[in-house]
Amino acid sequence: MKPDANIRNLYKPLQPSLKNSAENVAYLEFLPAAGLQNFIYCYWQLKSNQPLVEPFNYTVVADGCIDIVFELNNPQENFVMGFSKKFTEFPLGNSFSYFGIRFLPAAFPQLFKVKASELSDRFENLDSVVPDTSLFIRENFHPGDDSLDIKSRLDQHFLKILNKNELIADKRLFQAIDLIMKSSGALIIEKDLDTGLSPRQLRRLFEFYIGDSAKTFSKIIRFQSLLNIRPSAQLMRQEKLFLDMGYFDQAHFIKDFKTFYGITPGQAFRK
């Protein structure tokens, strides 16, 4: 079966925009070919436009996705970053050009038959997980390659994988994902996630296709929904958005936000 197109329609996984101090660093996203858009959210590029005075640290926030990443200046270095339930900081040095493929939730395990939980909170060499794609990256990309040419070659590679792949997943999994996303993660898993799955079946499917439990995934969707709203700190205090998001108190809301982002909501949304 094909994945539910609603995942893309309902979910926009965001990463924080670069700070003003990173004026010589650029982050770009590219839409994949139409046939891949139910699987790949975007291709992305993070590069220094000139050598930086100081080493650059990049923060990746929790987004429920799995990414393939490679260094264009040295495509021998290619990795897969699994589902993460906390923010991650990467020291990138003074000069870099990274390209990535961000897979929508549940897509990577369907395409590559890899259990997502085996990659969770890990940054692994791609060769040890998907050797054919690792080899493709090593042999087909070089320093200075044009971004759109890279996108085109990646499109061709992943379309070939998709076309020869038999996609199998329990439709009840996608029903559960749909309910979580439509509620922006603000639901009670035990009571509201009724798709005909037992708690044991639900956990097994989420661990295989997502990388963690439905409860953890729901928390990340809730966090990402706030990033999409991007409220001001004043609005959060006035409207008490943490209550609308299913939190019983502000302390738990701030704790979860710091776990996923690395800083407080007030710091993140400061104008």
pLDDT in tens, 199-237: 999 999 999 999 999 999 999 999 999 898 877 666 666
3-class secondary structure, 249:
coil
The 10s digit of each residue's pLDDT in 133-185 is 999 999 999 999 999 999 999 999 999 999 998 887 789 999 999 999 999 99
* pLDDT interval class at 243 (50, 70, 90): confident
- Cα separation of 172 and 194, whole Å? 9
- Count of H helices and E strands in the chain? 12, 8
* pLDDT interval class at 193 (50, 70, 90): confident
Residue 1 scores a pLDDT above 50: no
If one counts every other C-beta atom within 10 angstroms of the C-beta of residue 8, the result is 16
Residue ranges of domains in the chain, CATH in brackets: 6-163 (no CATH), 171-268 (1.10.10.60)
With beta carbons less than 8 A apart as the criterion, state whether 95 and 62 touch. Answer: no
The amino acid sitting at 41 is Y
Report which of residues 188 and 237 the model is more confident about: 188
With beta carbons less than 8 A apart as the criterion, state whether 175 and 195 touch. Answer: yes
Q: What are 57's strand-pairing partners? A: 91
* pLDDT interval class at 19 (50, 70, 90): low
Residue 251 scores a pLDDT above 80: yes
Residue 98 scores a pLDDT above 60: yes
With beta carbons less than 8 A apart as the criterion, state whether 124 and 77 touch. Answer: no
Q: Residue 135: what pLDDT?
A: 98
Q: Residue 5: what pLDDT?
A: 56
* pLDDT above 90 as % of the chain: 72
The 10s digit of each residue's pLDDT in 44-73 is 999 999 999 999 999 999 999 999 999 999
Residue 90 scores a pLDDT above 60: yes
